[in-house]
Amino acid sequence: MRQILLIEDNEHSARIVAKVLGKSGFAVQIAKTGEDGLMRAMAGQPDLILIDLGLPDIDGQTVISIMRQQDKLDGVPLLAFTAWPQDTAREMAMAYGCDGVISKPVATALLVQQINEHLKPEQSDDDVSP
């Protein structure tokens, strides 16, 4: 099961995203602060991190730049999750090392597709060499 770490302080948004992704077979872990998100990212091995840019303790840009310095998180897609105007959000997200942006309010019909576009294909047991 693919692991998604959602760093989002808005409980309503977090619940919607977790519900939509959960129905599509993802395991979603929610962190409500940047500090909690950093700890969860380092403790686990998420396949993708979805991060709000406006967090209550540490802004999302700082969290992203810290994550990008962690060898353990090399190759883990980071997507900004924000209500900022799309052009501004894209510029900011790319400047801080994000792999993409998902806008709020989230388009639930497109969310799984947007997530899948950034995930690496899963390796099956048949792909493993003896």
Does the residue 95 lie in any domain?
A: yes
Q: How many distinct structural domains can be found in the chain? A: 1
Does the residue 128 lie in any domain?
A: no
Does the residue 127 lie in any domain?
A: no
Does the residue 111 lie in any domain?
A: yes
What band does 123 get if pLDDT is binned at 50, 70 and 90?
very low
pLDDT for residue 130 = 44
Q: Does residue 79 contact residue 49 with C-beta atoms inside 8 Å?
A: yes
pLDDT, one tens digit per residue, over 61-117 is 899 999 999 999 999 999 999 887 778 777 877 888 899 999 888 888 899 999 999
69: domain CATH number?
A: 3.40.50.2300
Does the residue 101 lie in any domain?
A: yes
Structure-model confidence comparison of residues 60 and 46, the more confident one: 46
The two three-digit tokens of residue 74, written as one number: 């090399």
pLDDT, one tens digit per residue, over 6-53 is 999 999 999 999 999 999 999 999 999 999 999 999 999 899 999 998
Range of the domain at 71: 3-119
Does the residue 124 lie in any domain?
A: no
**Could you identify the residue written with the tokens 């294909």?**
121
Per DSSP, the residues of 21-75 read: HHHTT-EEEEESSHHHHHHHHHHS--SEEEEESS-SSS-HHHHHHHHHT-GGGTT
The two three-digit tokens of residue 119, written as one number: 């995930």
Does the residue 130 lie in any domain?
A: no
pLDDT for residue 70 = 94
Does the residue 126 lie in any domain?
A: no
